[in-house]
Structure 1
Amino acid sequence: MPVDELVDPVGYSGWWTVAGLGLLLLAGAVVFAVLWFTRARAVEKDVRPPAGGYLSADRWAALRSEYEARLDAVERRYHEGELDERALHLALSAEVRAFASRRLGQDASSMTLSEIQQLSGAGHLTQLIASYYRPSFAEDQDPRAHEVDPGSSVARARTVVRTW
């Protein structure tokens, strides 16, 4: 080919146009997804203040009342003779752990005491579950197993549910 002869420029392939449009669509989809997933849900929009005009500061109020009712049921079963002291403490431990699971959003039913101790703000829960260990796992003949007052065990469980 002679040096003085002009050559027409080479055009872009049609795939570059398709790729550019695809990237524009992808960017639009990302913006749409961010707006869609961060918008307020219908449940969040439908929050109305109570008659007094103030929102409750306790977002766990419904969960607390549910578990207080469950603790009442456990206490009633104990007073009716359906549960002995060992079964009472096992049931209380299960209810408090279930409350902690729902409150934390992770399963606390099989956590060890040291794992519960590492959870933030769970100091009272740790002490409560530790106090349930002796009556829950002691032999019936062990006199130290009966040193724990069942009434105070239920009261301490209620305190953890009400204050944590």
Structure 2
Amino acid sequence: MPGAELVDPIPYAGWWPWVALGIVLVVVAWYVWVVRSTRAPAQAPPATLPATQTNRPHARAQSDPYAALRGTTLARLDEVERRYRAQEIDVRGVNLEMRWALREFATGRTGVDTTAMTAETARLDRRTRPLASLLENSSLPAFASTSRTRVGRTLDQARKLVRAW
């Protein structure tokens, strides 16, 4: 290549580093915005009641760490029965809602996620074994188009499980 003259590369414009810095700052600001907008604001601690206004739980509630969970589940089962008596839901709906309430109770009671657990899987784990028979007994009424299951008996069995477990 005789006669060809070598030319130095052309330098980039001086404003490109500022564009790169701007892009980095926008990305960092976006991350900060996402983190701040998806976190709940800090809550003020609840005000304490004077000693004269506090409710004193009975002895069983003090010795049973699951008393609140037990009470909530029993109230949900009572609500399911009330809705069935008012003909708002049918036998299938009763069994589906009862299964959901029992699964939530079992999850809170054992720490094992039971939301998609089958009766067979529940029977294999010693922590969820008490739930297995009710899941099995309510399986057919929950998924069949018709059933001859007695709702009162099923709900009584569920309440008995919640009280005893």
- Normalising by structure 1, report the TM-score: 0.61
> 1:72 corresponds to which residue?
78
Q: For structure 1, which segment, 54-63 or 129-138, has the greater mean C-alpha deviation from structure 2 after superposition?
A: 54-63
Separation of aligned partners in 1, 2:133 and 2:75: 22
> 2:122 corresponds to which residue?
116
> 2:136 corresponds to which residue?
130
> 1:26 corresponds to which residue?
none
- Normalising by structure 2, report the TM-score: 0.60
What is the root-mean-square deviation of aligned Cα atoms in Å? Answer: 2.1
Separation of aligned partners in 2, 1:59 and 1:154: 23
In the TM superposition, residue 122 of structure 1 has moved relative to its aligned partner by 3.4
Pair 1:95–1:51, CA change in 2 (3 A): closer
Separation of aligned partners in 2, 1:98 and 1:137: 19
Separation of aligned partners in 1, 2:150 and 2:95: 10
- Superposed CA deviations along residues 102-152 of structure 1, whole A, max 9, x for unmatched, are 111132010122211122253331111111011111223xxxx21x21001
Separation of aligned partners in 2, 1:96 and 1:52: 25
% identical equivalent positions = 34
Residues 70 and 163 of structure 2 are in contact (CA less than 8 Å); yes or no, is this contact kept in structure 1?
A: yes
Q: Which amino acid in structure 1 is aligned with residue 163 of structure 2?
A: R
Q: Which amino acid in structure 1 is aligned with residue 96 of structure 2?
A: L
Separation of aligned partners in 2, 1:112 and 1:161: 18
Separation of aligned partners in 2, 1:85 and 1:53: 37
Pair 1:55–1:103, CA change in 2 (3 A): closer
Pair 1:81–1:112, CA change in 2 (3 A): same
